[in-house]
Amino acid sequence: MMAVLRVFPILLLLFTGTCRQEKPPLVDVAPSIQLVESVPLETDLDDPTIPNTSGVWVEMIRDAVRSLDIAQFYIANREGEALEPVIDEIIRAAQRGVVVRVLAEKKFSTVYPETLERLDGTDGIDVRILDLKQVDGGVLHAKYFIVDGRSLFVGSQNMDWRALSHINELGVRLTSVPVAAAFTRVFDYDWALAGGASPDDAENSSAGSTAYDGSPVEINDAVGKHMIVPVFSPRHLLPEGYGWDGDAIPALIRSAEDSLKLQVLSYSAFEEFDAELFAAAQRGVRISLLVSDWSLSPKRQEALKRMQRTENITVKISSIPEYSNGFISFARVEHCKYLLADAERAWIGTSNWSRDYFFSSRNAGLMLHSPALAAALHRKYARSWDGPYVSVMDTATTYTPRKRDDGSGN
């Protein structure tokens, strides 16, 4: 906590001295953290104690005074849907003088170009497209944004209208200068890459943007004490001293003494994580793994069935019912990405669990030690795990992956 208090006034002074005089001063805001969720309409997955994504996003962006940095796999709006007020708020932020930078992945910039073009055509908004495949063979899969260098949202939610109304999602909103600084450093690194810099040049150009030293950050707020470590991937495209989730998650698994609860869109076997999960099961840790019916390719099925056959591991498959108003492409799915270890520790991030997400693609997350947040995560997990939309994987059944596209290209 003292580290946060020392750094915050210094950054506040720097911001005040370097920004244009006409911008209002930043108001002191106490460090805080909260979970944020989206749930599919017409389901009983909503947790009334966890705020919904669309309102949180609008509030955070509306509060922006100096800067708004947005990194997204893609941005896909539809008029009249829940993302429209968010996009309008981004544009209004630029109109009142907030410096807005938007970074998106090349792979989907041609699939969903309309909203990116709308933003790029707005004065005060700069859009860059990152072709990470040319750098590292992966994609920009992270989903986060930073407000005024001190507030952050990160989670499974793509900036997609479907993610706000038709997908089960989980994210984190927090106010912490050191954590926001860590994400800003990574954003600046990727922003430089998208501008044509080499990885070495990107590292050098982003070096002055951080006030984070790699240490755990302590937040004390109304609900308790939280220890936070930001983590990112891939390992070889990280600023020096920053945590790699490919190390942090196996360490979290090794620390478990009683239970591990994992929810991801998809799980693909890879040695670095598989070995830790099987070792945990062998020492008596009870493991629950929840995946989506989207992700049941033959190879993934075999990996999941191997886990289901293992003592102390249970695999469940989620199938969210279709919307009553008709089929929605790439929706009605469990998309959360988090791991709970025992009663107090967790990882929440943007990665599905296959090797490429950790070794070649840009992702981001938080390692948490927080009794209060972990308790809320256990409640959210139970809503899916014990709910009406899941079934235990049958190792004798050959599953057909659920259709995600109606063929229209929407």
Question: Taking the complete model, does pTM exceed 0.75, yes or no?
Answer: yes
Helix, strand, coil percent content, the chain, rounded in steps of 5: 35, 25, 35
Q: What does the alpha-carbon distance between residue 17 and residue 227 come to, in Å, rounded to a whole number?
A: 31
Q: What does the alpha-carbon distance between residue 295 and residue 240 come to, in Å, rounded to a whole number?
A: 34
Closest CA to 53 of 188, 182, 164: 164
| pLDDT, one tens digit for every residue, the chain (410 residues) | 334 334 334 333 333 333 444 566 777 789 999 999 999 999 999 999 999 999 999 999 999 999 999 999 999 999 999 999 999 999 999 999 999 999 999 999 999 999 999 999 999 999 999 999 999 899 999 999 999 999 999 999 999 999 999 999 999 999 999 999 999 999 999 999 999 999 988 888 887 666 688 899 999 999 999 999 999 999 999 988 899 999 999 999 999 999 999 999 999 999 999 999 999 999 999 999 999 999 999 999 999 999 999 999 999 999 999 999 999 999 999 999 999 999 999 999 999 999 999 999 999 999 999 999 999 999 999 999 999 999 999 999 999 998 888 543 33
Residue ranges of domains in the chain: 29-392
3-state secondary structure of 61: helix
Q: With helix as H, strand as E and coil as C, how does 110-163 read?
A: CCCHHHHHHHHCCCCEEEEEECHHHHHCCCECCCEEEECCCEEEEECCCEEHHH
User: Could you read off the pLDDT of 129-164 as tens digits, one per residue?
Assistant: 999 999 989 999 999 999 999 999 999 999 999 999
- pLDDT of 267: 96
Within 8 A by CB and 6+ apart from 174, the residues are: 31, 32, 33, 34, 151, 152, 180, 219, 228, 366
In the DSSP assignment, the letter for residue 196 is: T
- pLDDT of 214: 86
By the 8 A CB rule, do 261 and 378 touch? yes
- pLDDT of 209: 62
CATH number of 29-392: 3.30.870.10
Strands 151-155 and 167-175: antiparallel
